[in-house]
Structure 1
Amino acid sequence: MALRPRTRAAHCRRAAATPAVSRLLVVSASMGSGHDAAADELARRLRAAGHEAVRRDVLELLPAGVGAGLRGFYRSAVRHAPLVYAGIYAAFFRADGGGRPGTAPLAVLAENRLRAEVADGRADAVVAVFHLAAQLTGRMRVRGRLGVPSAVVVTDFAVHRQWLHRGNDLYLCLTPEIARDVAHRLGRPATACGPLLPDRFRPHPAGERHWRQRLTAGDGGRPVLLSTGAWGVGSHLDATARLLSGAGYLPVVPCGRNERLRRLLSKAPGTLALGWVDDMAGLLAACCAVVDNAAGQTALEALAVGVPVVGYRPIPGHGVEGVHRMAELGLTEYAADPSQLVRFLDRVAPGAPAPGGRPAADRRLFRGDAVAPLESLAARGRI
């Protein structure tokens, strides 16, 4: 039975006031833990907004053994052959200003699996949270093999060309400056969404008191965290630990899943070497600064809890470019040599002889919104 005019108008108003539920497929990669952590947080926010979100690993969309081999090669290269990885990054990743498509031949191997995931889940949009996934969705959109819109969440400060493909419909970036650069290079919409961090990464998290008591129980100095990521990667970490200890600090090194590194640094005098840490928010808040080498998730988490970050001895490739980019944006400091590292820590660490607060620009980093742009994109997919 047809609705009477007044009833039909009221029905339309109610429909407009109630956002439709969207289905979004979030595609990440188990390279370390940063991309998966961002993807998990994005999926949580989408579900909290009333939508359906499913996460998939792009490495698992590749033929059997290919994804695991790719992950193993990358981990070995950054740990044991950094010059090899630097060469690969320079040849295949470094941004050339064109953002040309088709720079990841492996992407074609995952197309059929992704199409099946989209069809089985009746996804309204696909969101890539890793550069190989961005090449995959962009390539498929250009070739007409992906019938729903695709967005890319760029989790790096160094936006290398593997992130960029003109086939993607939308880019979400960490800062407005990065978004403007991506939009200029691709001619595609780009906006700032800020870091995708759980709510526990905020000033004075619940675990801060526990970690503060643990770190101040001995005779060490002010605790400074050395970031090594989930894989325990870094250059001359033992030398950096000795430098900090000699300067009156307590080097605190979460070694992730690298047990060999933990055993090595446990022998360094005045150093606290830890294994995998579940409560990174509390540990970061209990430290007076972070020495960062990758411009990755740990650096963002530190800024979120209000701890200053100094970039030093970055890992090759995206680490070098990302650490420099964060410093250029005024979010961190960059120390080019050991003496400069100590000077920066003496200046920014609370209780230092010449204390310095973080610039107000830091808080702007956390004002973006990732959900609303994806809601609009998914609505286009439903249409």
Structure 2
Amino acid sequence: MNVLILTGHFGQGHFSAAQTLGDEIRRSFSDVNITLRDIFEYTIPNYSSRLYQGYTLLVNRAGKLYNWYYKFTENWKRDIHPPFCRYFQAKLKTLIAETKPDMIVSTLPFCSQLVSQYNLKNGQNIPLITCITDVSTHREWINPGTTMYLVPCEAVRQNLIEKGIAPGKVFISGIPVQEQFKANVHPLAKDGKHLLIMGGGLGMLPRAKSFYQGLNGLKDVKTTIITGKNRDLYQRIHGRYENIEVVGYTDQVYRYMQEADLVISKPGGITLFETIFSELPILVFSPYLQQEIKNAAFIENQKIGLVLPTRPEECVEEIERVIHNDTQLERLRANMQTFKAGIDSDAILKIVTGMRSGLEVRAS
């Protein structure tokens, strides 16, 4: 059996989820061939890096425009077609001829749109599994050619059903995270508290000097800040504060989470579920992008974390209050455990098993 996984590098979340799904299938089925492709690196190899740079510039400098488009298309009644569809369809046809997939998995809306249109226009019926990587049912994720959906939570499942998706097609799988985040190893005893702060792959963190000064002054708290690919921030704060360790881009995030009492991050979908599986309470920076606003609302609704104030001084005060409140931290962890109980982490494996056997697969 051949499985083609399609994704993109708009941030690290989509690609990370794709890698995780590929790893899960590979561990369970030695005879399944996995091909993972960044759709833009494959189709426009000379321009993909510029595309991703442009996206980063858009969300950092023109967030209002991004949010306007997101809201404008969120509840469209008609299907959303990928731009330059004919060009990408031709490239996808070549990729499919090369890989001969029996199933395609997508962790990016663009890829789901592309495969759905390919199936419809070419009279094909290649099963398409769409993995939604935010707590969202934005119209861009919903396509007539999708066979199954992997969704983060019950609320997203219900929203898809309300929009006309058959219940048996929607699996509550959480957002896929690497196996290391599921170890849930926290030290039994240590000196003081350990705070972890992350800004995602792009290192989107506060710039105010007072924020870092406030963190450095927290009593009995050691702070680790992962700056990702934000070299400017790394250089500005590295080695400047005695109680703050600064780390650049790392693939050992799970280790830092295992050592932490509390994590602070922007509310990205992958990071959110990494903390859930690690049972690590989360505080999130006040969100601005629309999908992160939805993720932050989910955090508060599930009572697994809190949204921080916008002002740096108030932000530090809230961090200090929460990290020294063991009762609240335990309550947040307990809520994460309850939420995890409703996740079917083996959903992708059940789907692959059904596809291999030619049996109908339905979500319960």
* Shorter-chain TM-score range: 0.7 to 0.9
Amino acid at match of 1:201: F
Verify the 8 A CA contact 2:8 2:14 in the aligned structure 1: yes
Q: Which moved more, 1:370-379 or 1:146-155?
A: 370-379
Q: Which structure 2 residue ranges, 5 or more long, are not aligned? A: none
Larger radius of gyration: 1
Cα distance, 1:286 vs structure 2? 1.1
Cα distance, 1:333 vs structure 2? 2.1
Give me the whole-angstrom Cα distance separating, in 2, the residues matched to 1:39 and 1:25.
10
Amino acid at match of 1:303: I
Give me the whole-angstrom Cα distance separating, in 2, the residues matched to 1:131 and 1:286.
34
Change (3 A) 1:225 1:148: same
Aligned to 2:26: 47
Change (3 A) 1:275 1:94: farther
Aligned to 2:235: 263
Which of residues 195, 199, 207 is equivalent to 1:228?
199
Change (3 A) 1:237 1:96: same
Whether 1:197 and 2:149 are equivalent positions in the alignment is: no
Whether 1:62 and 2:35 are equivalent positions in the alignment is: no
Amino acid at match of 2:5: V
Q: SS state of the match for residue 196, structure 2?
A: strand
Whether 1:361 and 2:338 are equivalent positions in the alignment is: yes
Give me the whole-angstrom Cα distance separating, in 1, the residues matched to 2:87 and 2:327.
57
Aligned to 1:279: 252
Change (3 A) 1:254 1:237: farther
Aligned to 2:323: 349
Q: Which moved more, 1:222-231 or 1:102-111?
A: 102-111
Give me the whole-angstrom Cα distance separating, in 2, the residues matched to 1:250 and 1:44.
34
Cα distance, 1:343 vs structure 2? 6.5
Aligned to 1:30: 9
User: Where do 1:76-115 residues align within 5 Å?
Assistant: 76-79=57-60, 81=61, 84-92=62-70, 96-98=74-76, 100-115=78-93
Give me the whole-angstrom Cα distance separating, in 2, the residues matched to 1:160 and 1:364.
25
Verify the 8 A CA contact 2:89 2:118 in the aligned structure 1: yes
Amino acid at match of 2:232: R
Q: Which structure 1 residue ranges, 5 or more long, are not aligned? A: 1-21
Cα distance, 1:54 vs structure 2? 1.3
Whether 1:326 and 2:307 are equivalent positions in the alignment is: no
TM-score, normalised to structure 1's length?
A: 0.79
Amino acid at match of 1:111: Q
Change (3 A) 1:191 1:251: same
Amino acid at match of 2:236: L
CA-to-aligned-CA distance 1:89-119 (integer Å, 9 cap, x gap): 3214666334631243145432122222222
CA-to-aligned-CA distance 1:354-373 (integer Å, 9 cap, x gap): 65432142323644322212
What is the root-mean-square deviation of aligned Cα atoms in Å?
Answer: 3.1
Aligned to 2:283: 310
Give me the whole-angstrom Cα distance separating, in 2, the residues matched to 1:290 and 1:237.
19
Q: How many residues align?
A: 348
Change (3 A) 1:238 1:367: farther
CA-to-aligned-CA distance 1:155-201 (integer Å, 9 cap, x gap): 11234332222332221111122122123224352221123222211
Give me the whole-angstrom Cα distance separating, in 2, the residues matched to 1:318 and 1:187.
21
Change (3 A) 1:132 1:156: same
Verify the 8 A CA contact 1:157 1:295 in the aligned structure 2: no
Change (3 A) 1:74 1:186: farther
Cα distance, 1:128 vs structure 2? 0.6
Cα distance, 1:308 vs structure 2? 0.4
Cα distance, 1:352 vs structure 2? 4.3
TM-score, normalised to structure 2's length?
A: 0.83
Change (3 A) 1:350 1:197: farther
Give me the whole-angstrom Cα distance separating, in 1, the residues matched to 2:164 and 2:44.
30
Give me the whole-angstrom Cα distance separating, in 1, the residues matched to 2:126 and 2:42.
18
Change (3 A) 1:125 1:226: same
Aligned to 1:4: none
Whether 1:156 and 2:137 are equivalent positions in the alignment is: no
